[in-house]
């Protein structure tokens, strides 16, 4: 891939003098969905697929961006002066947002850049192509201008830029998982205080398989903000009867004891998901530590059921992928991953069942939904690197 981006850079920008190549991964969340803004735990890992960049400094304030994934847009030009989100800037609002966020943190960027990107994360899949671009941009800036920032800082700056520059009210999980990725480990992250530990993921004789529904998530963002506000209202109602700062602080038993304080049946279900999913995540990490992959798989399955019935963020596409996966012998666990309403599922599948899984689930999905799903067998990889 390094050669590919260098060759394309030369084609687009004339030569490769002074060019460096960078990589930042995508991520998948194994369990712990819609818990990150509810003060709960998440369990994501970085992937070996992600976003590559060829970049070099310029002698002026100009920014020139080109993406091999959006060739039809050509070179998009901008400037370091007066950075603001613009509709016509399209995908470049993500790297521009990070440059703006560095400036807000007191890191002045002295000169412009030519940046070419090529990602092998399926677009709109929910594997965090935008967060990958944000962390990647931060890694480029750190390398070029010698900024003293840690990988954890890159995550926080990426989230800040997405919240404040791009107006997406995301939690910290995506950027954190990408910036802090570690090969063959998932990150057990407490989103309430950003304390984390690495847990080895040893899937003896099995692999992580991602199924991309190829449904573009248009509905997702508005519904995402709606779910957040339902949880915030439920939390405020619970706080009248129990001293908590977030839903993630409650055990299942405490939730059942106090849930009558929530005055709306829908909000009860939303809050129930946040509480129970957090507990499932705690149990899943323990199961992994005990090498109990079967238990881990059962918790993944239960997570999907809760996201479908209590949180209502799955939809027919993701439900079809998961319910068909459950029928295949050798599937240890399967669930939707990401915000929902399209995007992907994540499954743990025994090695000798992978081909059957792709064929059986793929055919059933095509027959029911009318278009094909894509399948990716993925490995867990490291965070951002200079290649």
pLDDT (tens digit, 9 = 90+) per residue, 254-299? Answer: 999 999 999 999 999 999 999 999 999 999 999 999 999 999 999 9
pLDDT of amino acid 125: 65
- Domain with residue 157: its CATH number is 3.30.230.10
- Strand partners of residue 77: 64
- Strand partners of residue 38: none
Mean pLDDT of 90-113: 96
Domain span holding position 85? 2-200
25 burial level (CB within 10 Å; 0-12, 13-18, 19+): buried
Q: How many domains does the chain have?
A: 2
Is pLDDT of 217 > 70? no
Most confident of the ranges 79-83, 252-256, 376-380: 252-256
Residues 92 and 106 grouped into a single domain: yes
| Domain membership flag for residue 72 | yes
Residue at which a domain ends, from 178, 200, 222: 200
Residue at which a domain ends, from 151, 171, 200: 200
Is pLDDT of 142 > 60? yes
| Domain membership flag for residue 383 | no
Residues 95 and 171 grouped into a single domain: yes
Mean pLDDT, the chain, as a whole number? 94
| Domain membership flag for residue 272 | yes
Is pLDDT of 139 > 90? yes
pTM of the entire predicted model = 0.89
Residue at which a domain ends, from 138, 171, 200: 200
Catalytic residue list contains 174 = yes
Catalytic-labelled residue, pool 36, 90, 143, 174: 174
Residues 214 and 191 grouped into a single domain: no
């Amino acid at each position: 891939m390094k050669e590919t981006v260098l060759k394309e850079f030369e084609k687009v920008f004339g030569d490769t003098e002074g060019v460096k190549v960078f990589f930042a991964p995508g991520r998948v969340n194994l369990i712990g969905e819609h818990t990150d803004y509810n003060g709960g735990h998440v369990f994501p890992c970085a992937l070996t697929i992600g976003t590559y960049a060829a970049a070099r400094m310029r002698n002026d304030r100009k920014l020139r961006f080109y993406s091999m994934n959006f060739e039809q847009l050509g070179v998009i030009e901008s400037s370091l002066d007066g950075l603001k989100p613009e509709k016509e800037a399209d995908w470049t609002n993500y790297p521009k947002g990070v440059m703006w966020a560095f400036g807000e943190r007191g890191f002045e960027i002295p000169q412009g850049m030519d940046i070419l990107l090529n990602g092998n994360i399926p677009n709109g899949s929910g594997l965090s192509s935008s967060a990958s671009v944000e962390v990647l941009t931060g890694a480029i800036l750190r390398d070029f201008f010698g900024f003293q920032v840690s990988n954890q800082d890159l995550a926080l700056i990426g989230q800040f830029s997405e919240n404040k520059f791009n107006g997406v009210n995301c939690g910290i999980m995506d950027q954190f998982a990408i910036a802090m990725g570690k090969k063959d480990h998932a990150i057990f992250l407490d989103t309430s205080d950003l304390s984390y530990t690495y847990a080895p993921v040893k899937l003896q004789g099995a692999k992580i398989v991602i199924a991309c529904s190829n449904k573009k998530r248009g509905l997702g963002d508005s519904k995402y903000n709606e779910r957040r506000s339902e949880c915030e209202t439920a939390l405020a109602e619970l706080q009248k009867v129990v001293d908590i700062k977030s839903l993630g602080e409650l055990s299942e038993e405490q939730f059942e004891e106090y849930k009558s304080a929530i005055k709306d049946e829908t909000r009860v279900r939303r809050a129930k998901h946040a509480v129970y999913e957090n507990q499932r995540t705690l149990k899943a990490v323990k199961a992994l530590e005990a090498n109990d992959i079967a238990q881990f798989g059962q918790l993944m399955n239960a997570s999907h059921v809760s996201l479908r019935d209590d949180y209502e963020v799955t939809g027919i596409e993701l439900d079809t992928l998961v319910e068909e996966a459950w029928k295949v012998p050798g599937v240890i666990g399967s669930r939707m991953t990401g915000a929902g309403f399209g995007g992907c599922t994540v499954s743990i599948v025994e090695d000798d069942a992978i081909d059957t899984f792709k064929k059986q689930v793929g055919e059933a999905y095509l027959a029911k939904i009318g278009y094909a799903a894509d399948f990716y067998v993925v490995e867990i990889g490291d965070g951002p690197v200079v290649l």
